[in-house]
Amino acid sequence: MRYFLELSYNGKNYHGWQVQPNVITVQEKINDGLSKLLKSSINIMGAGRTDTGVHAKQMFAHFDFDTIINDVTNLKDKLNSFLPDDIVIYKIFEVNEKAHARFHAIKRSYEYHIFMGRNPFLLDVTWQLYRNKLDINAMNEAADLLLKQSDFKCFSKTTDVNTYICDVSEAYWKLIENNLVFYISADRFLRNMVRAVVGTLLDVGMHKISITDFKKILASRNRSEAGFSVPARGLFLTKIEYPKSIVKDE
């Protein structure tokens, strides 16, 4: 049987999602908890691989288990008691045998949070800018170009993927008081892509580059032409969408 987990986590204390040697990761913590509870070696597969320090308001993962789990709510509650407070499981549910947390996701959404000022209570979940005035209209004009772009190699940290094609369906900035948030959704994302996009759009907002320059960067397919990658602490994976057909018997 295959089961999905819906969860969230604060990424501050983790070296990203994926299990790695000699460091603590989110996947490792959940693997350990499930393996102890189910008395079997469990290796969950996540919907994506967030980097060190990146947070997730909504993440999904799947695992296989030979025996039917009659009380998934009880398993969820017990698993939460095994996990640290910065990882929370909200739901465990059975899905079709071929449902895949990564490959069947049809849309992913991220937010990048910037606090325009200084706030000691937001240091772990925002990047704080207090010396720069930003042209948000120009940043949104540049962000709109992402919806017309298909190849995002210029924002990719990885050079060995099969394709750099992503279908971006929304990308925009919104300022509410001192909170500046960038929203972006796509069918898939490349490694470090969102943080590089945000850094380059900030260059537009600070008038370090023009809209014309931004267009040239998109056409260049060269990471060195794009802007800096903003710090991980402001980045949140916020939503992952799946077709309804993944749920068992639907």
Please list the active-site residues.
51
Q: Among candidates 84, 107, 143, 148, which has minimal Cα distance to 242?
A: 107
Residues in the chain: 250
Q: Among candidates 164, 33, 20, which has minimal Cα distance to 92?
A: 33
Q: Among candidates 242, 110, 101, which has minimal Cα distance to 185?
A: 110
3-class SS of residue 119 = coil
Match 């992402």 to its residue by tokens: 146
Q: Among candidates 157, 155, 146, which has minimal Cα distance to 215?
A: 146
**Cβ atoms of 26 and 16 closer than 8 Å:** yes
Instruction: For residues 186 and 63, give the distance between their C-alpha atoms in angstroms, rounded to a whole number.
Output: 25
**How many helical (H) and strand (E) elements, i.e. helices and strands, does the chain have?**
5, 9
Instruction: For residues 197 and 212, give the distance between their C-alpha atoms in angstroms, rounded to a whole number.
Output: 16
Instruction: For residues 73 and 160, give the distance between their C-alpha atoms in angstroms, rounded to a whole number.
Output: 40
219 Cβ neighbours under 8 A, 6+ residues apart: none
Which runs of E-coded beta strand occur in 24-158? 45-46, 55-64, 87-95, 107-116, 127-129
